[in-house]
A and B are shown apart, each in its own frame.
Chain A
Amino acid sequence: MTNEKKYIKTSTIADAISEAIKNSNSFRFVAGGTDIFPNKFQENDTSDCFIDIADIEELKQITYTKDYLNIGALTTLETLKNNEFIAQNFPTLLEAANSVASPVIRKSATLGGNLLCENRCHFYNQSAWWRQAAGHCLKCGGDICLANGGKKYCFSKFVSDTAIALISFNAKIEIVSPEKTEFLYLEEIYSGDGIQHLLLEKSSIIKSIQIPLNIIYKSVFKKLQQRKSLEFSSLTTCITVFKDNKIKIVAGAIAPKPIFVVGALKDDFSELITSIAKNSKIVENDSYSRVYRKNMIRVLLNRSIKEIQLTEK
Chain B
Amino acid sequence: MKQISLNINNKFYNILVDEHELLSNVIREKIGLTGTKIGCEQGSCGACTVLVNNKAVLSCITPAISCDKAEITTIEALAENGKLHKLQKKFVEKGAIQCGFCTPGMVMTAINLVPELNKNDSPEKLRQQIKEGISGNLCRCTGYKKIIDAIVEYTLDESYKQEDSKFNSIKKLKTVGIPRPYIEAESKVKGEAEFADDIYIKNSLHCKFLRSIYPHAEIIEIDTSEAYKIKGVRYIAIGNELPITFGVLPISQDENAIAIKKVRYVGEIVAAVAADTEEIAAKACQLIKVKYNPIKEFLTIDESLADAGENEKIHEYGKFNNNIQKKAELRFGDQQQGFKDSEITSRMSFEFEGINHGFTEPHASTAFWDENGLTINTATQVPHYLHRALAKVLEVPLSRVRVIKPYIGGGFGGKSDPFAHEIIVAYLSRKTGKPVKVRLSREEVFLTNHGRHPTKMTVEMGFSNDGIIQALDADVAIDGGAYGSFGVVTTYYNGVLLQAPYKLSNFGFRTYRVYTNKPQCGAMRGHGAVNSRFAVESIIDEISYKIKIDPCELRMKNFLDSNTLTVGQYRITSNGSRESLQKVMDLSDWKNRFGKLEKGHGLGVACGFFISGSALPIFWNELPQSVVHLKLDFDGRVLISSGSSDIGQGSDTMLAIIVSEVLGISMENIFVLAGDTLLTPVDFGSYSSRVTFMAGNAAKDATENLKKEIIASVANQKHAIGKELNFENDRIFTNDKSVDLSWMEAVEILTAKRGAVSVSGKYISPKLGGDFKGAGAGLSPSYSFGACVTEVKVDLETGQVDVINIWGAHDCGKAINPLAVEGQLEGSWHMGMGQAVSEQMKYYKGLLLNNNFLDYKIPTSLDTPDINSNIIETMDPEGPFGAKESGEGAIHPVIPAIANAVYNAVGVRITKLPICAEDILTKISQNDLLNNKIIQ
Contact = CB atoms under 8 A, between A and B. Distances in A.
Do A and B assemble together? yes
Interface of A: 5-7, 9, 30, 33-34, 37-38, 40-42, 50, 52, 54, 101-105, 107-108, 122-123, 125-127, 129-130, 132-134, 146, 224, 226-232, 287-289, 291-292, 295-296, 299, 303
Contacts of B177: none
Contacts of B132: 103, 229
Interface stretch (B533-541, B634-642, B849-857): B849-857
Given A104-B46, A134-B844, A227-B838, A9 B136 contact: no
Contacts of B213: 129, 132-133
5 contacts: A37-B60, A103-B135, A104-B136, A129-B213, A229-B135
Contacts of A126: 849, 851
A45 B309 CA distance: 43
For A9, A146, A226, the residue with the greatest tally of chain B CB atoms inside 10 Å of its CB is: A226
B22 A104 contact: no
Contacts of A38: 42-44, 61
Contacts of A101: 43, 136
B219 interface: no
A37 B22 CA distance: 9
Interface residues of B, number: 61
A289 B919 CA distance: 11
Given A134-B844, A229-B136, A30 B851 contact: no
Q: Which 3 A-B pairs have the closest CB atoms?
A: A102-B136, A229-B135, A133-B213
Given A7-B65, A7-B66, A227-B860, 17 more contacts: A6-B19, A30-B63, A37-B43, A104-B137, A105-B43, A105-B136, A108-B62, A126-B849, A129-B211, A134-B847, A230-B136, A230-B853, A287-B850, A287-B855, A292-B918, A292-B921, A299-B798
Contacts of A6: 19
B20 A5 contact: yes
A226 B857 contact: yes
Contact of A230 (B18, B56, B109, B860): B860
A5 B18 CA distance: 8
A33 B862 contact: no
Contacts of B853: 230
B46 A102 contact: yes
A26 to B, nearest CB: 12
Contacts of A228: 135, 860, 862-863
B63 A230 contact: no
Contacts of A292: 917-918, 921
B126 to A, nearest CB: 15
A133 B113 CA distance: 41
A54 B42 CA distance: 20
Interface string B43-87: 110100100000111101111011010000000000000000000
Contacts of B882: none
Interface of B: 2, 18-20, 22, 41-44, 46, 49, 55-58, 60-63, 65-66, 68, 109, 112-113, 132-138, 211, 213-214, 266, 441, 443, 797-798, 800, 838, 842, 844-845, 847, 849-851, 853-855, 857, 859-863, 917-918, 921
Given A30-B66, A38-B42, A303 B797 contact: yes
Contacts of A108: 55, 57-58, 62
Contacts of B800: 226
B19 A7 contact: yes
Contact of A34 (B55, B61, B135, B211): B61
B57 A107 contact: yes
A82 to B, nearest CB: 9
Nearest to B45: A230
Nearest to B1: A5
A292 B800 CA distance: 11
B273 to A, nearest CB: 14
A6 B443 CA distance: 28
A108 B23 CA distance: 14
Contact of B20 (A7, A107, A224, A232): A7
Contact of B862 (A52, A227, A296): A227
Contacts, number: 150
Contacts of B57: 104, 107-108
A103 B112 CA distance: 11
A25 to B, nearest CB: 15
A40 B137 CA distance: 21
Contact of B918 (A5, A230, A231, A289): A289
Contacts of B859: 227
Contacts of A295: 921
A103 B133 contact: yes
B798 A224 contact: yes
Contact of B63 (A33, A103, A105): A33
A7 B136 CA distance: 28
B857 A287 contact: yes
A143 B493 CA distance: 47
Contacts of B860: 102, 227-230
Nearest to A123: B844
Contacts of A229: 132, 135-136, 860-863
For A34, A50, A133, A224, the residue with the greatest tally of chain B CB atoms inside 10 Å of its CB is: A133
Given A5-B20, A37-B61, A130 B443 contact: yes
Contacts of A134: 844-845, 847
B79 to A, nearest CB: 22
A130 B842 CA distance: 14
Contacts of B847: 130, 133-134
A80 B842 CA distance: 36
B351 to A, nearest CB: 16
A34 B136 CA distance: 13
B43 A34 contact: yes
A39 B62 CA distance: 12
Given A104-B49, A133-B266, A122 B855 contact: yes
B55 A7 contact: no
B849 A41 contact: no
Contacts of A54: 66
B838 A37 contact: no
A223 to B, nearest CB: 12
A33 B61 contact: yes
Contacts of B134: 103
B899 to A, nearest CB: 17
Given A227-B859, A228-B863, A7 B63 contact: yes
Contacts of B68: 9
B139 to A, nearest CB: 13
A52 B838 CA distance: 37
A228 B865 CA distance: 12
B892 to A, nearest CB: 23
A311 to B, nearest CB: 20
A127 B855 CA distance: 13
B516 to A, nearest CB: 17
B286 to A, nearest CB: 9
B918 A291 contact: yes
Contacts of A133: 213-214, 266, 847
Nearest to A49: B19
A284 to B, nearest CB: 10
A132 B862 CA distance: 36
B862 A103 contact: no
Contacts of B113: 103
Contacts of B109: 103-104
A127 B443 contact: yes
Given A102-B136, A104-B137, A226-B838, A232 B854 contact: yes
A172 B66 CA distance: 29
A229 B798 CA distance: 18
Nearest to A52: B66
B476 to A, nearest CB: 27
Contacts of B857: 226-227, 287
A222 B463 CA distance: 47
Contacts of A227: 838, 857, 859-860, 862-863
A123 B843 CA distance: 11
B67 to A, nearest CB: 10
For B58, B800, B862, the residue with the greatest tally of chain A CB atoms inside 10 Å of its CB is: B58
